[in-house]
Structure 1
Amino acid sequence: MGRALVGAMVGLLALGIPLAGALADDIPKTDWPPTNRHMLYRSLPPRTLSPRIQYAPARAVYKLPKGLDGLATYDKALTQACMAGTFRQISDGYYWAVTPDRRFGVAFSGGANLEDPQKKREPGKVYFFLNQDARCMVYVGDQAKLMPNYIPPV
């Protein structure tokens, strides 16, 4: 504040004029209630969890020291479906596989972390996702063949 404004405030206090009344006209009026009820509308509605879905923490499910070589193959049809958004992970990277080069998102044919409205999944398969956008790539592996590399939950 400038010295002139501070001097004017001291002068008003010396005369017994309250400052709140002098500055009250400068405060913009709102139509909000005096409480903070207006903030309640900014919060999201409560979420209800579906009783048919079992929830588990996000975690690494496979450790693949040699990568996907010999364990999973590139699937062109599922890759195109992933790019179109019709075959994808429910939550990108919720389950993942660790390789020396990169990390792949994982979804299971039983429906864990897999959104598949066109029913393209096959039983006993594991789907590895690289990217979850227009550059999506999907690799398919046999679950039984991948079991030696499975990381069980703690």
Structure 2
Amino acid sequence: MTRRFLTALPMGLLMAALLLPLSAGAQEVLPTDRTAPGHLRPPFRAYEPPPPGHAPRPRRTESRRVYALPEGVKGLATFDRTLSHLCQRGAFLQEIDGLYWAATPDFRYGVAFSGGANLVDPQNRRQPGKAYFFRNQDSRCSVWVGDQAKLMPHYIGG
């Protein structure tokens, strides 16, 4: 037994000698007062509470049909190529896809209004008095624009 202990002892000392410099460096901690304090926060917060004094706005999440268009959008809305390209890039779209929708014989279009209801428009491309009809809100997105006054006889929202 003593022979086995003596042969294991030099190997143990060798390992301790190799690991000693590594563990000494691990104990050194860099001070954080030299760096910007903002780097210590997480880069993304999933939820930020509203500022004091501001009650959160209630969100309506159930889907509502707002237009019944038995003839489709033809004659009531025109295809807009620029807004369609912006929608495909995510720069002009519905806040909640299909929150408001229009029923036609062929398709179901998502609807957003120029007043900002269900519309995400960071480049401020919306025009007053318009309703926007969305189809396939993804890389195939297409947007039609119609006058709200012209669409009013077909409005069924409440």
TM-score by shorter chain over 0.5: yes
Q: Which runs of 5+ in 2 are unaligned?
A: 1-45
Q: In 1, Cα distance between the equivalents of 2:58 and 2:113?
A: 14
Bigger Rg over Cα: 2
Corresponding position: 1:112 with 2:95: no
The structural deviation recorded for 1:48 is 5.9
The corresponding residue for 1:20 is none
What CA deviation, in whole Å up to 9, does each residue of 1:58-100 have, x standing for no partner? 2000000000011000000000000111000011101000000
Which residue of 141, 145, 149 maps to 2:146?
141
Q: In 1, Cα distance between the equivalents of 2:84 and 2:136?
A: 10
The 3-state SS of whatever aligns with 2:124 is: coil
RMSD: 2.1
Corresponding position: 1:61 with 2:66: yes
Identity of aligned residues (%): 57
The 3-state SS of whatever aligns with 2:139 is: coil
Alpha carbons of 1:52 and 1:105: their partners in 2 closer, same or farther (altered >3 Å)? Answer: same
4+ long deviations beyond 3 Å = 45-57
Task: Please list, as runs of the form range in 1=range in 2, the aligned pairs for 1:54-133 lying within 5 A after superposition.
Answer: 55-56=59-60, 57-133=62-138
What CA deviation, in whole Å up to 9, does each residue of 1:5-28 have, x standing for no partner? xxxxxxxxxxxxxxxxxxxxxxxx
The structural deviation recorded for 1:55 is 3.6
Alpha carbons of 1:78 and 1:89: their partners in 2 closer, same or farther (altered >3 Å)? Answer: same
Q: Which runs of 5+ in 1 are unaligned?
A: 1-44
Q: How many residues align?
A: 109
What CA deviation, in whole Å up to 9, does each residue of 1:9-53 have, x standing for no partner? xxxxxxxxxxxxxxxxxxxxxxxxxxxxxxxxxxxx888687474
Alpha carbons of 1:149 and 1:84: their partners in 2 closer, same or farther (altered >3 Å)? Answer: same
Q: In 2, Cα distance between the equivalents of 1:110 and 1:125?
A: 8
The 3-state SS of whatever aligns with 2:87 is: helix
Alpha carbons of 1:62 and 1:54: their partners in 2 closer, same or farther (altered >3 Å)? Answer: farther
Task: Please list, as runs of the form range in 1=range in 2, the aligned pairs for 1:37-48 lying within 5 A after superposition.
Answer: none
TM-score (norm 2): 0.63
